[in-house]
């Protein structure tokens, strides 16, 4: 908040509306940024095996492929081309209080086209088939929506429900708790540890700066440190 107020007052100084930036005069308390928690490759494998029969398995596949919560909730079937193996991140649904705000991704770089991996393709095809069965079962009571991730009733899933279900899934899979957003950090970290160029990872996540991706979204993991230690042998 202090950083935001300082930036606002600095802009007002440039416009001549205030004579000094009092925010810049406040002493900052030294603090270390909290290290983000990520899942290891073995933990990711365990998680995806656990959710294999989940009704929303594809939502967790999308999360582990580095998509934001709003991008998962806002993904529409019209944005998915399974035949060509491409997925367009072109729409988001974000919870703001009791309202759902829908619109394009937050930045130009966030709007991107990604290739669909084989595991994700299988999950998406299974989801589409299940939604067809749900529609047949409920008939006129089915409330069909355009979204890829939806409830058995056909309605769009609330973004907050994704966060709630993520926590429950980690508990039932007996995995440590990490935030749903940490799935993005996990995606970036595992790609980095596999030697994917950082500029490619930045493009995959929808970042405008590869330096930002490297400093914020890629983290060391214990297994990687052990591999580093073995290099001394």
**Fold for domain 43-176?**
hpI Integrase; Chain A (1.10.443)
| Dihedral, CA of residue 111, residue 114, residue 119 and residue 122, to nearest 10 | 80
* Residue 95 region by backbone torsions, left for phi larger than 0, else alpha for psi between -120 and 50, else beta: beta
Q: Tell me: the pLDDT tens digits for 75-103? A: 999 999 999 999 999 999 999 888 999 99
* Residue 68: strand, helix, or coil: coil
pLDDT, mean of residues 188-207: 90
pLDDT at 26 over 80: yes
**H or E segment and range at residue 49:** helix 41-50
Question: Which residues have a Cβ under 8 Å from the Cβ of 189 and sit 6 or more positions away?
Answer: 38, 217, 218, 219, 221
Query: What is the predicted pLDDT for the residue at 216?
Result: 79
| Phi, then psi, of 110 in degrees rounded to 5 | -70, -25
Q: Tell me: the pLDDT tens digits for 174-191? A: 999 999 999 999 999 998
């Amino acid at each position: 908040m202090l950083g935001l107020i300082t930036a606002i007052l600095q802009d007002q100084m440039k416009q001549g509306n205030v004579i000094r930036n009092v925010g810049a005069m406040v002493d900052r308390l030294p603090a270390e940024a909290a290290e983000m928690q990520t899942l290891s490759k073995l933990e990711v494998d365990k998680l995806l095996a656990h959710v294999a029969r989940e009704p929303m398995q594809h939502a967790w596949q999308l999360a582990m492929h580095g998509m934001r919560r709003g991008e998962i909730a806002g993904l529409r079937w019209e944005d998915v081309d399974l035949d060509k193996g491409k997925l367009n991140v072109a729409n988001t649904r974000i919870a703001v209080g009791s309202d759902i705000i829908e619109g394009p991704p937050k930045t130009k770089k966030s709007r991107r086209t990604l290739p669909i991996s084989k595991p994700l393709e299988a999950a998406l095809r299974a989801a589409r088939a299940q939604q067809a069965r749900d529609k047949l079962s409920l008939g006129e009571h089915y409330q069909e929506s355009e979204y890829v991730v939806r409830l058995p009733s056909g309605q769009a899933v609330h973004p907050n429900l994704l966060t709630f279900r993520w926590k429950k899934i980690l508990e039932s899979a007996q995995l440590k708790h990490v935030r749903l957003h940490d799935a993005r950090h996990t995606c970036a970290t595992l790609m980095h540890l596999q030697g994917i160029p950082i500029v490619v990872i930045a493009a995959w996540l929808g970042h405008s700066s590869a330096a930002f991706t490297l400093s914020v979204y890629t983290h060391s993991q214990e297994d990687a440190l052990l591999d580093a230690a073995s290099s001394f042998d």
